[in-house]
């Protein structure tokens, strides 16, 4: 079996549902990337259409995760129920 090491950087923005992540935010993350680095950009809100388009058309090595997808992931992993994160999991994360 082959083993791979993937270097990445991440950025997380906690915004309200009415504040979008713009191309300017994404560009700053891309500017900090080194060679052969990938990145995750997670937000509790959403990405503007222009920010999404730039990532796709410029082939940035960035994966965008909007708040809706974050909630879906947490629910899929049974870490969130209805509208809240499971307290026992949250407490275990904050304890570390």
Tens digit of each residue's pLDDT (9 = 90 or more) over 29-44: 999 998 888 999 999 9
Q: Environment class of residue 41 by beta-carbon count within 10 Å: exposed (0-12), middle (13-18) or buried (19+)?
A: buried
Calculate ∠ Cα 43-19-55, nearest 5°: 55
Average pLDDT over residues 4-33: 90
Average pLDDT over residues 47-51: 95
The full DSSP string for the chain is ------EEEEEEE---TT-EEPHHHHHHHHHH--TTEEEEEEESSEE-HHHHHHHHHTT-SEEEE-HHHHHHHHHHTT-EETTEE-HHHHHHHHH-
Overall pTM surpassing 0.85 (yes/no): no
Tell me the pLDDT band of 7, cut-offs 50, 70 and 90.
confident
Task: Tell me: pLDDT of 82 over 80.
Answer: no
Q: Are 39 and 63 in contact (CB under 8 A)?
A: yes
Across the chain, mean pLDDT equals: 89
Tell me the pLDDT band of 19, cut-offs 50, 70 and 90.
very high
């Amino acid at each position: 079996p082959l083993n791979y090491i993937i270097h990445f950087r991440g950025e997380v923005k906690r915004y309200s549902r009415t504040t979008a992540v713009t191309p300017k935010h994404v560009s700053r993350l891309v500017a900090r990337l080194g060679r052969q680095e990938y990145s995750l950009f997670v937000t509790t809100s959403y990405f503007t259409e222009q920010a999404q388009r730039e990532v796709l058309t410029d082939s940035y090595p960035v994966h965008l995760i909007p708040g809706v997808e974050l909630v879906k992931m947490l629910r899929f992993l049974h870490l969130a129920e209805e509208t809240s994160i499971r307290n026992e999991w949250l407490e275990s994360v904050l304890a570390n």
